[in-house]
Amino acid sequence: MKALRNLVDKVKPTFAKGGKLEKLHWVFDGLETFLFTPGHATEKGAHIRDGIDLKRTMSIVITAMLPCLLFGMWNVGNQHFLALGQFVELGDGFWDKFIFGAIKVLPIVVVSYGVGLGIEFLFTSIKGHPIQEGYLVSGMLIPLVMPVDTPLWMVAVGAAFAVVIGKEVFGGTGMNVVNVALTARAFLFFAYPTMMSGDKVWVNTSVEEGQKVVDGFSGATSLGHAASGAIDKVTPMMQSFWGFEAGSIGETSAFACLIGAAILIVTGIGSWRIMLATVLGGSAMAALFNWVGPQVGNAYMQIPVLHQLMLGSFMFGMVFMATDTVTAAQTDTGKWIYGFLIGAMAILIRVVNPAYPEGMMLAILFMNVMAPLIDHYVVQANIKRRMKRAALQTA
């Protein structure tokens, strides 16, 4: 580490004011502060909370997402070989599955970071401000919410749209109104619906010569089956909990998401209030549907509450997106309201509107927009209560 510090100090004058590469000063500063604690204090930005700097915060979030990434790689291979009728037992061909998944997933991660950070560096050079590290997390989130068969050019377009339109036009990291990764997902979902919501995109079904997909195979997700009325094809709850089903790369395993939740809560990065409130909201809406379902003869409404929470991207969105410190509610009371409404809306959208079998994305985006309004009324209510107490004390 000391040798690396000496090397950085040796080349630093080249990027300092008056150096040959002065215009790349902020790019060098970003790389230096990624390796070492910065020697300057932050003066502005929505992420200012305490002594920990932004890069360390983002590093913890990325660490929390690693279980989802690693499991997603294995599951991509698992779903692929199941489609071919090979390695049908969970323990069979573990490394074959993992390596196949890594080959499919890593290029998506590389493209996401390459395009997103490239645009960040461009804006840094033009505007002359330090590199904004928010994309370190968004660059990982974008691949994890993508179907495995998403073309790389679509990943690049989505990442570019998210950085430019979702963040930079609002002033950069800490100023965005909605979650950056969900902005990319929503843009691609509505711009290329057949390539983002089709049955086959969730499982890589490319085959080599002499191979054939098994008869009757469907690459639809459990929520896709449920929305079409094929309740019998919905993955059992425990399989959904572990993540042995088709879906976006990093969203299928509730267990991996809970590991990430534990890391975020223990380190104080993620809000346990928002996570718990989201579970309560989703449970309340699912319980309501369970009560109404038998009366209207709707089998989808009768899926057990806990099973509903395990399906789709509910857990992933709750842990890594609803808790985004920039776009979430900031007051304690506001976090309860914000999280509860996200959970309730996610279940409501997925069950009532079959055109959007996965409602978590739309629920979080809508509540991102509503979060400032929620905080405003919470603060105003607190002011009114304090004014009443002050009036009683002086009476």
In a domain, 152, yes or no: yes
| Tally of domains in the chain | 2
In a domain, 393, yes or no: no
- The average pLDDT across 268-293 equals 95
Among 210, 242, 201, which residue's Cα sits nearest to residue 85? 210
- The average pLDDT across 253-269 equals 95
254 is in which domain, residue-wise? 54-205+218-382
Pick the more confident residue, 12 or 345. Answer: 345
Paired tokens of 35: 């390796």
Weakest-pLDDT range from 31-35, 321-325, 346-350: 31-35
User: How far is Cα 274 from Cα 280, in angstroms, rounded to an integer?
Assistant: 10
CB atoms within 10 A of CB 11: 12
User: How far is Cα 11 from Cα 87, in angstroms, rounded to an integer?
Assistant: 52
Paired tokens of 193: 């619906």
- The average pLDDT across 286-315 equals 91
Task: Based on the fold, state whether residues 10 and 95 are members of the same structural domain.
Answer: no
Q: Evaluate if residue 323 carries a pLDDT over 90.
A: yes
CA 40 to centroid of chain Cα atoms: 30
Task: Based on the fold, state whether residues 12 and 137 are members of the same structural domain.
Answer: no
Pick the more confident residue, 173 or 340. Answer: 340
In a domain, 213, yes or no: no
**Mean pLDDT for all residues in the chain:** 84
Task: Based on the fold, state whether residues 229 and 309 are members of the same structural domain.
Answer: yes
In a domain, 40, yes or no: no
| pLDDT band per the 50, 70, 90 thresholds, residue 222 | confident
CA distances in angstroms from 326 to 63, 73, 369, listed in the order given: 19, 29, 11
Task: Based on the fold, state whether residues 145 and 291 are members of the same structural domain.
Answer: yes
Q: Evaluate if residue 159 carries a pLDDT over 70.
A: yes
Q: What is the per-residue pLDDT across 367-395, written as a single tens digit (0 to 9) for each?
A: 999 999 999 999 999 999 999 888 888 76
| pLDDT band per the 50, 70, 90 thresholds, residue 19 | low
Paired tokens of 357: 């079998």
Residue 140 has what pLDDT?
93
Say if CB 313 and CB 342 are below 8 A apart: no
Q: Evaluate if residue 46 carries a pLDDT over 50.
A: no
Residue 303 has what pLDDT?
92
Task: Based on the fold, state whether residues 172 and 303 are members of the same structural domain.
Answer: yes
CB atoms within 10 A of CB 214: 11
CA distances in angstroms from 377 to 315, 343, 374, 384, listed in the order given: 28, 21, 5, 10
CA quadruple 368, 372, 377, 379: dihedral sign: positive
In a domain, 195, yes or no: yes
Residue 48 has what pLDDT?
46
Q: What is the per-residue pLDDT across 185-213, written as a single tens digit (0 to 9) for each?
A: 999 998 988 788 777 788 886 655 446 67
Q: Evaluate if residue 12 carries a pLDDT over 80.
A: no
| pLDDT band per the 50, 70, 90 thresholds, residue 18 | low
H or E element: which one contains 343?
Answer: helix 332-352
Look-up: residue for tokens 């037992």?
89
Among 31, 124, 110, 108, which residue's Cα sits nearest to residue 76? 108
Total residues found in the chain within this entry = 395
Task: Based on the fold, state whether residues 93 and 195 are members of the same structural domain.
Answer: yes
Task: Based on the fold, state whether residues 247 and 317 are members of the same structural domain.
Answer: yes
Task: Based on the fold, state whether residues 65 and 167 are members of the same structural domain.
Answer: yes
Task: Based on the fold, state whether residues 373 and 262 are members of the same structural domain.
Answer: yes
Say if CB 182 and CB 321 are below 8 A apart: yes
Paired tokens of 269: 């990065």
In a domain, 78, yes or no: yes
In a domain, 248, yes or no: yes
Task: Based on the fold, state whether residues 8 and 125 are members of the same structural domain.
Answer: no
Task: Based on the fold, state whether residues 123 and 77 are members of the same structural domain.
Answer: yes
In a domain, 114, yes or no: yes
Task: Based on the fold, state whether residues 185 and 64 are members of the same structural domain.
Answer: yes
Among 76, 80, 81, which residue's Cα sits nearest to residue 107? 76
Indicate the pTM of the whole model. 0.85
Weakest-pLDDT range from 125-134, 166-175, 289-298: 125-134
